[in-house]
Amino acid sequence: MKDDLKYIGKTLPIHDVREKVTGQLRYVGDMMLHNMLYGKLLLSSISHGIIKEIDTSKAEALQGVIKVFTYKNSVDKKYNSYMWYKAMDTVKDEVLFTNRVRFMGDRIAAVVATSKEIAEEALTLIKVDYEELPFIDAEGALVEENIKIHPWGNIMSKREMENGRVDEALKKDLTIVEDTIETQKVHHAAMETHACVADSTPDGTITLWSPCQVAFQVQLIVSEALGIPTSKIRVIKTAMGGSFGGKGQPILEPICAYLSLNTGAPVRLEVSRAQAIIGTRTRNATKGRVRIAVDKEGMIVGRDIDVLVDGGAYHTNGDAVALAMGKKAFRLYRIKNQRYKSTTVYSNTPIGGACRGYGSPQIHAITEINIDNAARAIGMDPVELRLKNLVHPYDKDPLNGPDLGNGRVIDCLEKGKKAFNWEEKFNNRGQEGRFVTGVGVACGVHGNGYYGAHPDYMMMTLKVLEDGKILMLSGLHDLGCGTITTMKQIVGEVLKIHPDNIIIPEADTFYSPYDSAGTQASRVTFVCGGCAQETANLLKEKIYKYSAAILECTEDAIEMLEGVITNSEKPSDRISLSDLLSKVRYQFKREISVTNTYESKANPGVYTVNFVEVMIDKLTGMVKILDVLSVSDIGRAINPGFVEGQVHGAIQMGIGFALSEEIKLDAKGRVTTANFSKYHVINAPDMPKVKVILVEEGEEYGPFGAKSIGELATVAIAPAIINAINWALDINISSLPATPEKIIEALNKKAKQA
Amino acid sequence: MLLNMRVNGINYALDVNPRLRLLDVLREKLSLTGAKEGCGEGECGGCTIILDGLAVNSCLVLAHQAEGKEIITIEGLEKDGELDRLQQSFIDKGAVQCGYCTPGMLMSCKALLMKNPNPSNEEIKEAIEGNLCRCTGYIKIIDAVRAVADSKEGGN
């Protein structure tokens, strides 16, 4: 690709880095408003039941307690926190506070007090009498007909999609490899737990400060849950201490707004780590049965996938995750006959939600472990088998979804194979002795926004300011990944102005032009960045037009560099952007500004391939990751340092998914891993070195050719690790995470069979 | 109780509830909100400060335990508007994403370099093993500490 670019492809620091390294950045939990009160939530201690009686009198009598809210004295309007636009058709089954407990973590009450210590003490004084009901897990939900978690039953949705004729394909004289693979519930583990601040005025106008992903969604959900018009709700996106999807759905915001409205004071509502693990959102657990048919040459002839998705206690996006999983299954390999079926159920377990990859890590765990088993079954190198079957650039989606675009997964695999020295490592397993080594590989696909599924457009205003800087007004949310800097680089490149001179406030529903979907679905770089590029081009046209008029030359003669506009035919004729604005205001009575609506025109695939080397202690079952190579087809890196950072973090998250992270429940559905000593996030000593290779071949509709990376980078690492373990030990781990116990069990089973 | 302590070079005499955690005293009484609460149980390291030269989780220290102590928080690293070299290295190496773990991470690394100006990579990893980060995979954080330790001025 052409390399005459000034700011694209450069590693610049994240825009607010100085405030971050000095501790000056104010997150919402650092906010203090005059007369601010403190809110705390009481979550249910049982997984399933009915509240017979709730007594809040002692809590209310505690000095410093302003009010206690339960289902008895709060609004009872159903909503679905997953909804981000009003026309969305979905099931509304949540309320602010419930009297019917559907999981350990359901919201029972909120206390508002003058200090957080008093609020916490008051929680202990609330007495709840439950009538307990049997705990229903996902498998139980499939068969339980008498006890219904929601009045309409325990099945949330069923989906089926198919191309070709799967049943016929699987009957042919082929090698059929069947696996049933389970993936667990995972906590996002953003270091900042959920929090927000709400303030209200006597006329009922609410202002909410929230580290959110979709400010307009927060506004909509508060409106839905409280039954007040959106025009009375202002949402301001604050600094975000990590989200990974966990803060995508508004959880605390409607409650916090309600507490403020009903106490007439500003309220800060925060949850503890335990409450964040139990009572916010989780990665949906899944159980997938997959049958793949391959011929002797390693061509995949057919595949049949049937997945059970554990939606948890409330609907949220359980069905959407199941759908997203299915779509991915058709966009990685050329499979002529394929069927994907899903059943999504309610269960008395923590609620599912968006989680980095949105079903992709789950479906790739299921299918990529199975592909390795197919390769083993026919005695073929799993890289070779993949190379024979992967999609090619500009392939069509067999389900008539958006075109795959310039999908370069084959390039990724070939480059990675060489860089990792795959063949030698694969063929030389160190199987002797206590410590064995092995390598694994997996591929993955993800998307770029909602084109083809939901409205995907963005409005943006760009204007020249008095001092010659450029202001962008838009509904952007930086989740800590560098979105703001990325947009500055795109606009800076178009206008040839240093990104430091572009000013970008984040989303504020009162001032930001509408954005249809926020920071979700890997759409920000591709769609919002596309909007930034197009809008900057429109602003540039306007600047050129006014400059030509004022410098009395043709627009073709205009050149602009770092805010200085020159008539290239007479270089002494020049004017700064700042002076240009003064003259335009005086002579033309106009601003130099444009407002543009950009609609996404595509949703190409992005691809990643991960190679992993592991060492396993056969005595203890402990796995050490020695080496990771991540190769991703991202079109073009706007900021290569950010891209690397995204990959590193995604690998950290994926290693946890593969080896150690799991929200565990006991037989009664109570969460037993509600802190970081029991919920094991990978720490620095366990983190391997990670090599990052980028394939940058450009994507037509992406800004400067760019596609997404942050979610993509976590979708293939877990199956690559499991494949490495299975290859090293010649076992078949099919349940994540691959804990030492499971590995020892598999080794014992293998020893018995031998 | 009256709590006497020295924070970032300033002597304080504060009237505090002795049951308060040092983290709360710093955040609420002194408005030093750089230290963050990520778990409240000493498992995440978000609240790390330096107390008499050692990196500690301020959520596990009660106010009275800070009596007479010398404390450095993230707000105390910058001197006269100039960043500490470790802070600058975090910027240069791209070691910061969401930034929530950053103050605690920096304090753990600073405490390490104060004691051991030339740590091995293993020692750096060990120094931050109690600091969780979900964004960076720790790689650029380790690079940032490494760069300071390897610089000609050394780690201290």
Instruction: Dump pLDDT digits (tens) for A281-336.
Output: 999 999 999 999 999 999 999 999 999 999 999 999 999 999 999 999 999 999 99
The closest CB to that of B43, out of A29, A479, A675, belongs to A675
Asked if residue A379 lies in contact with residue A167, where contact means CB atoms within 8 angstroms, the answer is no
pLDDT score for A432: 85
Considering chain A, what is the average pLDDT of its residues? 97
B72, B89: one domain:
no
Q: What is the pLDDT of residues A290-304, one digit of tens each?
A: 999 999 999 999 999
Taking CA–CA distances from A23, the nearest residue in chain B reads B34
pLDDT surpassing 80 at residue B155? no
pLDDT at A436 over 90: yes
Residue A259 in 3-state DSSP? helix
pLDDT digits (tens, 9 = 90+) for A24-63: 999 999 999 999 999 999 999 999 999 999 999 999 999 9
Same-domain pairing of B14 and B70: yes
Task: Give the pLDDT confidence of A100-152 residue by residue, as tens digits.
Answer: 999 999 999 999 999 999 999 999 999 999 999 999 999 999 999 999 999 99
Angle in degrees, CA A714, A717, A721, rounded to 5 = 155
**Which residues of chain A make contact with B78, given a CB cutoff of 8 A?**
22
- Cβ pair B137:A651 closer than 8 A: yes
Cβ-in-10-Å burial (0-12, 13-18, 19+) of B58 comes to buried
Helix (H, G, I), strand (E, B) or coil at A148: coil
DSSP state of A525: I
Which residues of chain B have a CB within 8 Å of the CB of A11?
94
Min Cα–Cα distance to chain B from A193, Å: 7
- Helix, strand, coil percent content, chain A, rounded in steps of 5: 30, 25, 45
User: Which tokens sit at A242?
Assistant: 């990590």
The token duo for A184 is: 């667990």
Strands lying side by side in the sheet with A558-561: A558-561, A564-567, A574-576
pLDDT band, residue A720 (cuts 50/70/90):
very high
Asked whether A467 and A601 are in contact (CB, 8 A), the reply is no
Among candidate residues A463, A473, A461, A495, the one with its CA nearest the CA of residue A585:
A463
State how far the alpha carbon of A440 is from the alpha carbons of A220, A719, A749, in Å: 45, 8, 22
B138 to A29: CB separation less than 8 angstroms, yes or no: no
Sign of CA dihedral A638, A639, A644, A647: negative
Distance CA A208, CA A200 (A): 9
The token duo for A124 is 């202990």
Contact residues, chain B, for A118 at CB < 8 Å: none
Is residue A1 scored above 80 in pLDDT? no
A285-448+602-753 CATH pick, 1.10.40.30, 3.75.10.10, 3.40.640.10, 3.30.365.10 = 3.30.365.10
Closest among A229, A357, A240 to A716, alpha carbons compared: A357
- Percentage of chain A beyond pLDDT 70 is 100
Span A128-139, pLDDT tens digits: 999 999 999 999
Burial class (CB in 10 A: 0-12, 13-18, 19+), A535: buried
Q: Which two tokens stand for residue B39?
A: 């778990």
Three-class secondary structure assignment of chain B: CEEEEEECCEEEEEECCCCCEHHHHHHHHCCCCCCCCCCCCCCCCCCEEEECCEEEECCCCEHHHHCCCEEECHHHCCECCECCHHHHHHHHCCCCCCCCCHHHHHHHHHHHHHHCCCCCHHHHHHHCCCCCCCCCCCHHHHHHHHHHHHCCCCCC
Q: Count CA atoms closer than 13 A to B112's CA, side-chain side.
A: 26
Q: Which of B44, B76, B108 is at the close of a domain?
A: B76
Mean pLDDT of A442-451: 98
Please tell me whether residue A689 adopts helix, strand or coil conformation: strand
**Tokens 């923590």 sit on residue:** A350
Task: Say if residue B156's pLDDT is above 90.
Answer: no
**Hey, is A373 helix, strand or coil?**
helix
**CA distance readout (Å), A613 to A366, A625, B2:** 20, 6, 56
| Best residue of B100, B138, B142, B148 to probe chain A, by most A CBs closer than 10 Å | B100
CATH number for the domain spanning B94: value is 1.10.150.120
Distance, CA of A457 to CA of A599 (rounded, Å) = 4
Tell whether B120 is within 8 A of chain A (Cβ).
no
Structure tokens at A669: 């559905």
Q: Which two tokens stand for residue A527?
A: 């769609």
How many CB atoms lie under 10 A from the CB of residue A36?
A: 16
Rg (CA), chain B: 15
> Residue A3: is its pLDDT beyond 70?
no
Q: What is residue A128's predicted lDDT score, i.e. its pLDDT?
A: 98
Interface test with B, best of A18, A20, A244 (most B CBs within 10 A): A20
Cα–Cα distance between B101 and A676 in angstroms, integer?
Answer: 15
> What CA–CA distance (Å, rounded) separates B3 from B17?
9
> Domains in chain B: how many in total?
2
Q: A684 and B37: CB-CB below 8 Å?
A: no
Strands A457-464 and A435-446: unpaired
Q: Is the pLDDT of residue A225 over 90?
A: yes
For the segment A171-182, the average pLDDT, to the nearest whole number, is 96
User: What's the whole-number mean pLDDT along residues A660-689?
Assistant: 98
Is pLDDT larger for residue B111 or for residue A2?
B111
Query: Are B13 and B66 found together in one domain?
Result: yes
pLDDT in tens, A241-268: 999 999 999 999 999 999 999 999 999 9
Residue type, A58: K
Task: Provide the residue range defining the domain that includes B28.
Answer: 2-76
Sheet arrangement for strand A457-464: A502-503, A470-473, A457-464, A593-599
Q: How far is Cα B122 from Cα B143, in angstroms, rounded to an integer?
A: 12
Chain B partners within 8 Å of A677 (Cβ): 41, 43
Beta strands in A5-147 (DSSP E): 37-43, 49-55, 65-69, 100-101, 107-113, 127-132
Q: Which two tokens stand for residue A227?
A: 């039954």
Q: Is residue B29 part of a domain?
A: yes
At position A189, the amino acid (one-letter code) is: A
CATH class, A452-503+515-599 region = alpha beta
Residues of chain B contacting residue A13, judged by C-beta atoms under 8 Å apart:
91-92, 94, 96
What residues contact residue A737 under an 8 Å CB cut-off, 6+ apart? A184, A656, A657, A658, A659, A660, A661, A662
Q: How far apart are CA A667 and CA A677, in angstroms?
A: 21
Same domain, B44 and B90: no
**Distance, CA of A55 to chain centre:** 39
**Cβ atoms A220, A83 nearer than 8 A:** yes
Please judge whether A687 and B75 are an interchain contact, meaning their C-beta atoms are less than 8 angstroms apart.
Answer: no
Compute the distance between CA of residue A369 and CA of residue A721 in angstroms, rounded to an integer.
9
Mean pLDDT of the A743-749 span: 97
pLDDT at A742 over 50: yes
Which residues of chain A does CATH 3.30.365.10 include?
Answer: 285-448+602-753, 452-503+515-599
Q: Which two tokens stand for residue A217?
A: 């969604």
Taking alpha carbons only, the member of A606, A609, A605 closest to residue A628 is A609
Place of tokens 């946890």: A656
Give the burial string for B69-86 (b: 16+ CB within 10 Å, else e): bebbbbbbbbeeeebbbb
A10 token code pair: 């450069």
Whether B63 is in a domain gets the answer yes
User: Distance (Å, rounded) from C-alpha A494 to C-alpha A489?
Assistant: 9
Which residue among B58, B76, B94 closes a domain? B76
What is the rounded distance in angstroms from the CA atom of residue A692 to the CA atom of residue A412?
11
A131 burial (CB, 10 Å; 0-12 / 13-18 / 19+) is exposed
Query: Could you tell me which CATH number the domain at A31-133+194-270 has?
Result: 3.90.1170.50
Check whether residue B64 and residue B104 sit in a common domain: no
Residues B71 and B6 in one domain: yes
Within a domain: B51 = yes
Using CB atoms, which residue from B44, B102, B134 is nearest to A653? Answer: B134
**Nearest chain A alpha carbon to B82:** A22
Mean pLDDT of A449-458: 98
CB A440 within 8 A of CB A364: no
Single residue among B59, B76, B93 that ends a domain in this structure? B76
User: For chain A, what's the residue count?
Assistant: 754
Q: Which residue has the higher pLDDT, B156 or A729?
A: A729
**B87 has pLDDT over 60:** yes
The predicted-structure confidence for A357-395, as pLDDT tens digits, reads as follows: 999 999 999 999 999 999 999 999 999 999 999 999 999
Best mutation site among B26, B108, B134 for testing chain A: the one with the most A CBs within 10 Å?
Answer: B134
For residue B155, tell me if it sits in a domain.
Answer: no
Looking at the fold, whether B14 and B36 belong to one and the same domain comes out as yes
- State ipTM: 0.99
- CA-CA distance, A135 to A671, in Å (whole number)? 12
Say if B156 falls within a structural domain. Answer: no
CA distance B83 to chain A (A): 8
List, in order, residues 6 or more apart from A352 with CB less than 8 Å away: A185, A281, A282, A283, A284, A285, A309, A310, A311, A312, A316, A317, A318, A321
- Distance in angstroms between the alpha carbons of the first and the last residue of chain B: 36
Q: Which residue is closest to A645 within chain B, CA to CA?
A: B136
